[in-house]
Amino acid sequence: MTRDLEIVLLRSFVTVVRAGSISRAAATLGQAQPALSQQVRKLERTVGRPLLHRSPSGVPPTRAGEELLPYAERILSLSAQALTETGRVLTGRCGVGLLEDLAASQLPQALADLARLHPDATLEVLSMSNAAMREAYDTGRVQLVLNEVAAIPGPPRWTVRRPLVWAIGQDMDVTADPLPVVLFSNTCSWRTSVLDTRERAGRPWRVAFESNSLAGVLAALRAGLGVAALLPTNLEPAMICHDAAAPPVLPDVELGLARHPRSEGDPLIDAVETVLRSTI
């Protein structure tokens, strides 16, 4: 008997992982928590493996959930594009500036899928410092910027909140005293919120490793050097903290999209913005 993955079940699963809890995901989707839980369990029966670790502190994905997540996100993105782009021909150029943590997610793949549907269009995806991004925005190299709200170069057209979670590497002891922490070295609200959370927890900690790139932070986690705050979409297998002795709950990150005023009415940039919003 052929097994098919239902779009509605995939959307429920992805929303739960992004939200970090069944209750927040239910509020996002406008559903009751029991109904949403049943949808995720139905997907688990279809896949044949548990997809979530269910605990009072949250519902991080299992190894199977981590493996399914990028496929689920891409299926949802392609479904949305198929409904909106079929029959249209888009041309021109669009530059997109992304926060590095988003550039490592499914967003670039979704944009590549859009470019494949419209071979006469040119898309450029950039990840750079806030100052360089603002210059690219002001000179017209990028028309869309998706970043932390405080860092975008113009007023946000829309915003979205995403949770941060503590990630750990293999063989990392989260009960270590003081707790080793891996940080992004750039000064930003992200780093500030992590440090503020640690201070409020009243638990000794030390900076074990710093990097100005996501690749460096992930490398430190793989080496078991400490714990770090990441978006759930950037977690690698076994990089999530389940232990009750783990660090305290982190605040959400508010992301926003700025669009250059001169790009209003451009069909290609309209389509790219739609992809960004549906994928994030």
Residue 151 lies in a domain: yes
Q: Which of 44, 38, 117, 48 is nearest to 79 (CA)?
A: 117
Residue 2 lies in a domain: no
Residue 55 lies in a domain: yes
Alpha helices, H only, the chain: 7-19, 22-29, 33-47, 63-85, 100-103, 107-117, 130-138, 189-201, 214-222, 267-279
Range of the domain at 240: 165-250
Residue 31 lies in a domain: yes
Distance CA(276)–CA(45), nearest Å, equals: 31
Question: Is the same domain home to 97 and 29?
Answer: no
Residue 50 lies in a domain: yes
180 and 206 Cβ atoms separated by less than 8 Å: yes
Question: Is the same domain home to 199 and 130?
Answer: no
Say whether 105 sits in a helix, a strand or coil.
coil
61 and 234 Cβ atoms separated by less than 8 Å: no
pTM of the model: 0.70
What is the domain count for the chain?
3
pLDDT at 2: 64
What type of residue sits at position 21? S
pLDDT at 83: 64
CATH number for position 64: 1.10.10.10
Q: Which of 66, 79, 151 is nearest to 113 (CA)?
A: 79
pLDDT at 143: 96
- Nearby residues of 175 by Cβ (< 8 Å), 6 or more positions away: 243, 245
pLDDT at 244: 41
pLDDT at 85: 61
Bridge partners for 94 per DSSP: 123
pLDDT at 95: 96
pLDDT at 124: 94
Domain boundary, last residue among 39, 56, 81: 81
Domain boundary, last residue among 81, 104, 135: 81
Question: Is the same domain home to 207 and 96?
Answer: no
134 and 126 Cβ atoms separated by less than 8 Å: no
Give me the tens of pLDDT residue by residue for the chain, a chain 280 residues long.
Answer: 567 888 888 889 988 888 888 888 888 888 888 888 899 999 999 988 999 988 776 788 888 888 888 888 888 877 777 766 666 778 999 999 999 888 877 888 888 888 888 889 999 999 988 899 999 999 999 999 999 998 999 899 999 888 888 888 777 877 888 888 888 887 666 777 777 777 777 778 888 999 988 889 899 998 889 888 888 878 777 676 655 445 677 778 899 999 999 998 899 999 899 889 888 8
Sign of CA dihedral 229, 234, 237, 242: positive
Q: Which of 178, 188, 232 is nearest to 210 (CA)?
A: 188
Question: Is the same domain home to 148 and 118?
Answer: yes
